[in-house]
Amino acid sequence: MNANPNAARLPSQLKTLASHLEVESQSMVELLPTFSKLDKILMGLGLLANNDSLTTRVPWWPLISVLGTYSSGKSTFINDYLGESLQATGNQAVDDMFTVICYGPSDHSRVLPGMALDADPRFPFYRMSEKIEDVAAGEGKLIGSFLHLKTCGNEKIKGKILVDSPGFDADDQRRSTLRVTDHIIDLSDLVLVMFDARHPEPGTMQDTLKHLVEETVNRPDASKFLYILNQIDTTAKEDNPEDVVSAWQRGVAQAGLTAGRFYTIFSESAANIDNNTIKERLSAKRDKDLAEIYGRIEDVEIERDYRIVSVLEGTANEIEREILPALEAALGRWRRGILLGDALIFGALAGAGVLLARTELFTLEQLLSWTDDPVTLGLSAIGLGVVFLFGHFWVRALAAKTVAKRLPTEVGQFGLNLKTAFEKNTRFFRNVFRTNPVGWGKRARNRLQDIRTEAALQFQRLNDRFTDPAGRAADTPKVMAMPSQALEPKPQAEPEPAQQVEKERPADEPQAQAS
């Protein structure tokens, strides 16, 4: 198993993460011990390197990504949302890098290099250089040409991460850029996919439709994708602006998205609509759609909470339903290769004996006479055994190398290493006929079930925070707090001299009236 170069930094990174979550989301802090339990299971199976952690592969801040074609108004949308000109805009591509926007305490925006993202596990691009290197050798060291970090002092972005992507054109994209795009899509809590209303025809965005629509509609988290036709104000001069929207929806439908919510918006600052009637109609539709989009952005923290919990449940299910069957299948191919090789070795030894007998180097009587001499018999058996064992371990290593060559180094959403898990099971001291993979048994299965149970309980806690099906909260009587002076007893008047001989009666205390 490859040593993790970041192992020495892992404890301090986890401590920093816990400190961040203490301030930002207390409920997420409660999940860290459960993640630690899952890490131990993954390490035992060989799917995760020692001193590595799944927590470093999960973006803990709510993540919103804005993807789309060139000149589809992505940067303008971000500027309008933030209320300031943070991103450069234009009719042509003005930025070929992924911009990660987060809150900064200064009113002045700062641009930080891509290494700031690559080295910080709290950001979604932690160790992104390694992933780029896997698909495009030599480009991982150029992380600064793919990413940069930009700060913004606007309160709207506080507690969130916003990713502005370069214009998307699958034909012209390098494999490394597509890898970054896929990584963003997987980790985002909300994905805004924008199209240009000036070019709504399916033929002009076929590759974009394939990568950003066709490959996403069947995802289990498909609800996080919002498909937006931007710059709809450019259709104001058309005889029938609705035809443009229909053409776009047909293109999206051809990519497999036949149902769902579609949005049409434009930027008020860039709009140029002469016809007031059309302007009012488009503006009304835009205001409604923008309100819904902004609402999803504001609620992204809720999406994040559910996403983090789903990582536990999803990874547990992924291990049992996908990774372990794939690992067992690979081990089965390895065993069959060994048995076939051993049979060939045994056959070769037997054939060699027959060949020696036929060459009359040794007669049958001589061979049988060896059995009468224990020393000769023992030495012969040892010699044959050594030859067989040498051939067995050679075949064993060859079969393992052949099978491992076809196994992926990354499986699942978080890049678990199936290849190293297989290699852990094929070391020379492992039993070939072991029924379960190394690290998997009744204890590991029970621990995995405990993780599922803890995830289910956390889901219930989240539901209790945001839902109340029985309406108990509404039935709870609300008592208004009274001013402090209303709760203080009034001073009693001094009794008259004639009344002092009478038995003293306690003064009635005033009762606070609930309003």
Query: Residue written as tokens 């209790």?
Result: 464
pLDDT, residue 356, reads 67
The neighbour count for residue 344, using CB atoms within 10 Å, is 12
Whether the per-residue pLDDT at 501 is higher than 50: the answer is: no
Query: Region 464-486: what's the mean pLDDT?
Result: 60
Whether the per-residue pLDDT at 326 is higher than 70: the answer is: yes
Whether the per-residue pLDDT at 342 is higher than 90: the answer is: no
Task: Place 513 in a pLDDT band, splitting at 50, 70 and 90.
Answer: very low
pLDDT, residue 511, reads 44
Alpha carbon distance 398, 438 (integer Å) = 20
**SS3 (DSSP) at 259:** coil
Whether the per-residue pLDDT at 485 is higher than 50: the answer is: no
pLDDT, residue 321, reads 93
Alpha helices in 226-373 (DSSP H): 241-254, 276-298, 300-318, 324-358, 364-370
Alpha carbon distance 424, 427 (integer Å) = 6
Task: Place 502 in a pLDDT band, splitting at 50, 70 and 90.
Answer: very low
pLDDT, residue 97, reads 82
Average pLDDT over the chain, rounded to an integer: 79
Q: Which residue has the higher pLDDT, 81 or 273?
A: 81
Going by C-alpha positions, the residue among 131, 68, 61 that lies closest to residue 95 is 68
Check if the beta carbon of residue 177 is closer than 8 Å to that of residue 146: yes
> Of the ranges 49-58, 83-92, 347-356, which is most confident?
49-58
pLDDT, residue 515, reads 34
> In the chain, count of helices (H) and strands (E)?
18, 8
Whether the per-residue pLDDT at 224 is higher than 80: the answer is: yes
What are the residue boundaries of the structural domains of the chain, listed by start?
Answer: 8-58+309-468, 61-298
Query: Region 453-457: what's the mean pLDDT?
Result: 94
Whether the per-residue pLDDT at 466 is higher than 90: the answer is: no
Query: Region 5-30: what's the mean pLDDT?
Result: 77
pLDDT, residue 496, reads 47
Query: Region 187-196: what's the mean pLDDT?
Result: 89
Task: Place 173 in a pLDDT band, splitting at 50, 70 and 90.
Answer: low
pLDDT, residue 35, reads 94
Lookup: tokens for 17: 């993460």
Architecture of the CATH domain 61-298 = 3-Layer(aba) Sandwich (3.40)
User: How confident is the model over 384-436, as pLDDT tens digits?
Assistant: 778 878 888 999 999 999 999 999 888 887 889 999 999 999 998 888 888 89
> Of the ranges 138-152, 297-311, 382-396, which is most confident?
297-311
Query: Region 358-373: what's the mean pLDDT?
Result: 64
Alpha carbon distance 121, 20 (integer Å) = 12
Lookup: tokens for 224: 């996080």
